[in-house]
């Protein structure tokens, strides 16, 4: 595939074949050398063939192969003439990350990490099909929950008003239509609110290892040595089933709209079509489920901290820094070719990264820009970034979402044979609690890029700015 170097951290795939816009890849020269034969780059070009796409088909430096869209892919469709593609959102609708700050310093709890890890593993249901955090939730109640999102958690005592203020979209995406979610999807999610799930989902207790921007860190309530918590999860079985349902439906009706694409996994329909509107209503419902899910897990985590450490809520100071989603499609206004346009931005393994002053941000954070939370692997570090103004001009206000895999899960398990991964992680200062060794093997540090390299690209390109580095010391896995 031909590439044109725009600058040291941005490469362009010129329009060719059925592409309607160029593709653009954020990467260092070394990353591009490693990517040249990667099928994910073909996916970037394929996305550029979607009707109504504007600007560019974008890929972040954590790019790897996904369903239809690459993971790390961003594409904006004209809100009136464009299409919606479930593959551009992904199976785990509104998979996302929330960062929680505490009043604790690592030195205060260093001798209690094992007990804390045990308590969190007991409190937060994890693993495939895990359930039990809120037993007995009826489908009727779930229909209310997917409309209210994190507001349901507030109404039921699992959240504060400040939590919602520091959640993207205040934890509720407008337009949710529970009638567009199948009964099967509701039943899959009925017992899964407040559960972590499996795969790359995790709960990570970290300490602030380094601060790069003292002013921004202060605005976020972060300081060196502080204990923090990252929760990474999504919409569980409800979101997965919703994606599956609509991929099937949209694949069946594409011909009706005379849409032909180079990859059937890109299945798409016009945004304005009945099927497009139905998917958007169901997707919003699944997104709201995910926000509520992470909020309830935050509540359960707070309880486990207080009980294990014997501290009051005031002493603990468990406060939400921010919650971001990275598998979603949202209607936003962006300036394209000098004109402000309403577009539907698909972010698949990519994080919103609005710059300073954006009205969508809570007043306390508006002066510095949106927090962008970038988990690494469980053996190294994660980063807190903020969006910069260039993101609004160049990436539809988007950034990377994590480290990005370099091994498939099957390959990682092969590489892990005969190794004591728990001891290896303990040697790095990380206590792990997991449902299975296989789950740890799939997610071992070597299965991922070094997230520092990914973050460096985004910062050098002017899209985001580093605020702090977090070092994990306890990890809960499915």
Cβ-Cβ contacts under 8 Å for 33 (sequence gap 6 or more): none
pLDDT given at position 4 = 96
Q: Which of 64, 131, 166, 401 is catalytic?
A: 401
Q: Which helix H or strand E contains 287, and what residues bound it?
A: helix 274-309
pLDDT given at position 1 = 80
**What integer is the mean pLDDT of 288-312?**
97
Q: What whole-number percentage of the chain has pLDDT above 90?
A: 93
Entry field: residues in the chain: 478
pLDDT > 90? residue 126: no
Q: What whole-number percentage of the chain has pLDDT above 70?
A: 99
The hierarchical CATH code for the domain 4-477 is 3.90.1860.10
pLDDT given at position 170 = 97
For residue range 210-257, list pLDDT tens digits in order: 999 999 999 999 999 999 999 999 999 999 999 999 999 999 999 999
pLDDT > 80? residue 46: yes
**What integer is the mean pLDDT of 114-143?**
85
For residue range 363-396, list pLDDT tens digits in order: 999 999 999 999 999 999 999 999 999 999 999 9
pLDDT > 80? residue 135: no
Q: Which two tokens stand for residue 478?
A: 């499915």
Q: Is 201 a catalytic residue?
A: no
Per DSSP bridges, beta strands 464-477 and 431-434 are parallel
Burial annotation 265-297 (CB, 10 A radius, 16+ → b, else e): bbbbbbbebebbbbbbbbbbbbbbbbbbbbbbb
Q: What are φ and ψ of residue 213, in 5° steps?
A: -130, 100
Q: Which two tokens stand for residue 370?
A: 């949106």
Q: Which helix H or strand E contains 277, and what residues bound it?
A: helix 274-309
Confidence band of 129 (pLDDT split at 50, 70, 90): low
Question: Tokens 């990005």 belong to which residue?
Answer: 404
pLDDT given at position 108 = 96
Q: What is the dihedral of CA 295, 215, 457, 320, to 10 degrees?
A: 0
pTM for this entry: 0.96
For residue range 416-462, list pLDDT tens digits in order: 999 999 999 999 999 999 988 888 999 999 999 999 999 999 999 99
* pLDDT, averaged across the chain: 96
């Amino acid at each position: 595939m031909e590439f044109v170097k725009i600058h040291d951290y941005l490469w362009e795939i010129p329009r060719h074949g059925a592409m309607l816009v160029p593709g653009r890849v954020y990467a260092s020269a070394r990353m591009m050398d490693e990517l040249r034969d990667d099928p994910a780059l073909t996916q970037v070009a394929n996305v550029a063939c979607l009707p109504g796409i504007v600007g560019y088909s974008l890929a972040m430096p954590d790019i790897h192969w996904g369903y239809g869209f690459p993971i790390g892919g961003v594409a904006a469709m004209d809100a009136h003439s464009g299409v919606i593609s479930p593959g551009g959102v992904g199976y785990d609708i509104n998979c996302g990350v929330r960062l929680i700050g505490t009043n604790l310093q690592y030195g205060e709890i260093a001798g209690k990490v094992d007990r804390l890890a045990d308590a969190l593993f007991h409190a937060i249901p994890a693993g495939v099909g895990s359930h039990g955090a809120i037993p007995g939730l009826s489908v009727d109640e779930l229909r209310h929950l997917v409309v209210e999102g994190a507001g349901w958690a507030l109404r039921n005592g699992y959240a504060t008003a400040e939590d919602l203020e520091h959640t993207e979209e205040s934890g509720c995406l407008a337009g949710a239509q529970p009638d567009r979610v199948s009964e099967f999807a509701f039943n899959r999610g009925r017992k899964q609110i407040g559960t972590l799930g499996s795969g790359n989902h995790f709960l990570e207790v970290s300490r602030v290892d380094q601060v790069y921007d003292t002013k921004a860190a202060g605005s976020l309530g972060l300081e060196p040595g502080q204990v923090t918590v990252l929760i990474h999860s999504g919409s569980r079985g409800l979101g997965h089933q919703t994606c599956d349902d609509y991929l099937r439906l949209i694949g069946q009706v594409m011909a009706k709209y005379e849409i032909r694409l180079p990859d059937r996994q890109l299945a798409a329909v016009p945004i304005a079509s009945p099927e497009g509107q139905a998917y958007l209503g169901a997707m919003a419902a699944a997104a709201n489920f995910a926000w509520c899910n992470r909020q309830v897990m935050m509540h359960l985590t707070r309880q486990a901290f207080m009980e294990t450490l014997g501290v009051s809520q005031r002493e603990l100071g468990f406060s939400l820094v921010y919650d971001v989603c990275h598998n979603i499609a949202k209607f936003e206004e962006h300036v394209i070719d000098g004109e402000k346009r309403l577009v539907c931005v698909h972010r698949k393994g990519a994080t919103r990264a609005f710059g300073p002053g954006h009205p969508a941000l809570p007043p306390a954070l508006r002066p510095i820009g949106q927090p962008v939370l970038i988990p690494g692997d469980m053996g190294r570090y994660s980063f807190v970034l903020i969006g910069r103004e260039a993101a609004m001009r160049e990436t539809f206000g988007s950034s990377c979402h994590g480290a990005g895999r370099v091994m498939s899960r099957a390959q990682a398990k092969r590489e892990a044979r005969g190794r004591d991964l728990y001891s290896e992680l303990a040697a790095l200062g990380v206590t792990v609690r997991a449902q299975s060794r296989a789950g740890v093997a799939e997610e071992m540090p070597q299965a991922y890029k070094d997230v520092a390299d990914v973050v460096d690209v985004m910062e050098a390109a002017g899209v985001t700015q580093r605020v702090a580095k977090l070092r994990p010391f306890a990890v809960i896995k499915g």
